[in-house]
């Protein structure tokens, strides 16, 4: 069996949606990296009874470790340590050494930040944060709050790892938490959860479903999740090591049925594939973007090391700028209009020639919500990717918001680039 952990995210601000939970997803991914499965993520408000019942549920549903986030601060709504102590059957007691440590931290912070604090309330807040369940391990504070590893009082049941709420503090404390002997013992001796990803471009979900149905009997032990993201069909599979042959059968089935659209069999992202393609060919690239106005150049530049291939880009929003910056002929703009295959091609070639790059990209479209006509509706985008002697063109009509039209155009451009790089 695979080791399994659960998370309780505390905070009324998270429960009510004022703050988007960043700790649950981050912890889920860190656990996956360690090969640990995630059983549940439960969000509770700053209410003692709700936190206690969530902890009782999660410590009794087959989890090897339960992690809490938040509620370690000095204010009255920060009650996690006390509730965890009660659920684990341990008393809270003052840790004088920790109290001193927190005092020093608060003094340093006050000096650095010029806080004027009332000594009595500071001392009370510090004492509250230094209350530790008897027998718990203390993890050194990253901010002011220490973390805790609280074993169950009576033999059975998982330890509870108590982490602070601010994401930077929680993340900063993670390495120390994973180095704690109690946590290592809780997660050791189990199998490691594996996760593999494959991605398709241009296959509808229904066709994938048919393939999965046809091979159902060979795929035992795989937890397959398919999800449509940015127009890509992403297939994420989680499995224990003994189901590796079943995953190999899934890979074979995908390769057999979807060879033309299976652009990533090993989990590589489109960004990684395009970057590797450009680097491998020692090629360079320039963009000319109208409706996306720099989003593609920005996406390419998101990757460290992109200066090896991205020379630059033109934001050619107005017709006049399309003429001036990348040399789109005025007659072309008059006869076929800015949103046309011809102009996309002229933009790609123009960007490439102006900067002397191997590859050029042109994107021109109507992001909306206004500006559509019967032959050129909102969401119509023409794209072109070119190099000397060869160009790939695409016309798409993207439904949805302005933001969606622009975002999808960038992904389509990346896939066109991938195709041209491979040809």
Q: Site residues (CB under 5 A) for Mg ion?
A: 73, 78
The owner of tokens 């912070």 is 109
**Looking at beta carbons only, is 63 or 69 nearer to ligand ATP?**
69
Q: What does 167 interact with, of ligand ATP, Mg ion, none (CB < 5 to 8 A by kind)?
A: ligand ATP
Partner from ligand ATP, Mg ion, none binding residue 11, C-beta < 5-8 Å depending on class? ligand ATP
CB of 48 to ligand ATP, least distance (A): 14
CA separation, residue 46 to residues 9, 11, 15, 75 (Å): 10, 5, 9, 11
Nearer to Mg ion, 73 or 82 (CB): 73
C-alpha 314/C-alpha 167 separation (Å) is 37
How near is the Cβ of 77 to Mg ion at its closest, in Å? 6
Q: Least distance to ligand ATP from the beta carbon of 67, Å? A: 11
Distance CA 331, CA 334 (A): 5
Q: In angstroms, give the least distance from the CB of 163 to Mg ion.
A: 13
Residue 264, SS3 per DSSP: strand
Which residue number, 20 or 307, has a Cβ lying nearer to ligand ATP? 20
Q: Of Mg ion, ligand ATP, none, which one does residue 69 interact with (CB within 5 to 8 Å by kind)?
A: ligand ATP
**CB of 407 within 8 A of CB of 400?**
no
Which does residue 349 touch among Mg ion, ligand ATP, none (CB within 5 to 8 A, set by kind)?
A: none
Are 177 and 183 a contacting pair, CB within 8 Å? yes
Q: How far is the CB of 224 from Mg ion (least distance, A)?
A: 39
Q: Identify what 292 binds: ligand ATP, Mg ion, none; CB under 5 to 8 Å per kind.
A: none
- Report, in Å, the least distance between residue 77 CB and ligand ATP: 7
> Which of ligand ATP, Mg ion, none has residue 145 at its interface (CB below 5 to 8 Å by kind)?
ligand ATP
Nearer Cβ to Mg ion, position 73 or 362? 73
Residue 9 interacting entry, from Mg ion, ligand ATP, none, C-beta within 5 to 8 Å by type? ligand ATP
**In this structure, what are the phi and psi dihedrals at residue 46, rounded to the nearest 5 degrees?**
-80, 65
Q: Where are the beta strands (DSSP E) in 52-133?
A: 65-69, 92-94, 131-133
Q: How many CB atoms lie within 10 A of CB 71?
A: 27
CB-wise, 145 or 344, nearer to ligand ATP?
A: 145
**Shortest spacing between CB 33 and ligand ATP, in angstroms:** 19
Cβ contacts of residue 14 below 8 Å, gap of 6+? 20, 21, 43, 70
Instruction: By CB under 6 A, name the binding residues for ligand ATP.
Output: 9-11, 13-14, 19, 21-23, 69-73, 78, 145, 164-167
409 binds, among ligand ATP, Mg ion, none (CB under 5 to 8 A by kind): none
- Residue closest to ligand ATP, measured at CB: 73
113 phi and psi, to 5 degrees?
-100, 0
Task: Decide: residue 22, CB within 10 A, 0-12 exposed, 13-18 middle, 19+ buried.
Answer: middle
d(CA 235, CA 247): 12
In the structure encoding, which two tokens stand for residue 116, read together?
């004027």
Q: How far is the CB of 69 from ligand ATP (least distance, A)?
A: 5
d(CA 312, CA 107): 49
């Amino acid at each position: 069996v695979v080791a399994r952990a659960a998370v309780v995210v505390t905070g009324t601000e998270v429960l009510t949606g004022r703050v988007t939970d960043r700790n649950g997803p981050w912890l889920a991914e860190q656990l996956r990296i360690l090969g640990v499965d995630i059983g549940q993520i439960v969000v509770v408000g700053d209410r003692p009874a709700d936190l206690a019942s969530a902890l009782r549920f999660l410590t009794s549903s087959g989890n090897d470790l339960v992690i809490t986030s938040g509620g370690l601060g000095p204010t009255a709504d920060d009650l996690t340590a006390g509730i965890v102590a009660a659920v684990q059957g341990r008393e809270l007691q003052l840790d004088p050494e920790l109290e001193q440590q927190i005092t020093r931290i608060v003094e340093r912070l006050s000096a650095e930040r010029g806080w004027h604090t009332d000594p009595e309330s500071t001392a009370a807040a510090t004492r509250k944060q230094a209350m530790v369940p008897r027998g718990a391990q203390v993890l050194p504070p990253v901010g002011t709050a220490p973390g805790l590893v609280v074993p169950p009082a009576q033999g059975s049941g998982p330890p509870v790892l108590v982490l602070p709420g601010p994401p930077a503090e929680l993340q900063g404390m993670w390495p120390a938490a994973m180095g704690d002997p109690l946590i290592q013992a809780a997660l050791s001796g189990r199998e490691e959860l594996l996760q593999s990803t494959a991605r398709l471009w241009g296959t509808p979900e229904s066709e994938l479903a048919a393939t999965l149905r046809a091979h159902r009997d060979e795929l035992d032990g795989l937890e397959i999740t398919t999800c449509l993201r940015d127009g890509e069909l992403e297939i994420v599979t989680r499995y224990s090591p003994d189901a590796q042959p079943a995953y190999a059968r899934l890979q074979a089935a995908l390769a057999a049925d979807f060879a033309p659209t299976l652009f990533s069999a090993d989990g590589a992202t489109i960004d990684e594939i395009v970057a590797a393609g450009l680097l491998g060919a020692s090629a360079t690239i320039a963009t000319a973007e109208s409706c996306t106005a720099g989003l593609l150049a920005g996406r390419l530049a998101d990757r460290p090391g992109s200066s090896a291939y991205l020379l630059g880009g033109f934001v050619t929003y107005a017709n006049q700028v399309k003429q001036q910056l990348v040399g789109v002929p005025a007659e072309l703009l008059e006869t076929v209009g800015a949103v046309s295959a011809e102009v996309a091609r002229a933009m790609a070639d123009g960007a490439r020639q102006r900067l002397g790059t191997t590859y050029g990209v042109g994107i021109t479209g109507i992001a909306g919500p206004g500006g559509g006509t019967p032959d050129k509706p909102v969401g119509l985008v023409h794209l072109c990717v070119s190099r000397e002697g060869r160009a790939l063109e695409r016309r798409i009509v993207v439904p949805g918001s302005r933001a969606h039209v622009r975002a999808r155009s960038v992904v389509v451009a990346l896939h066109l680039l991938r195709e041209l790089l491979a040809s």
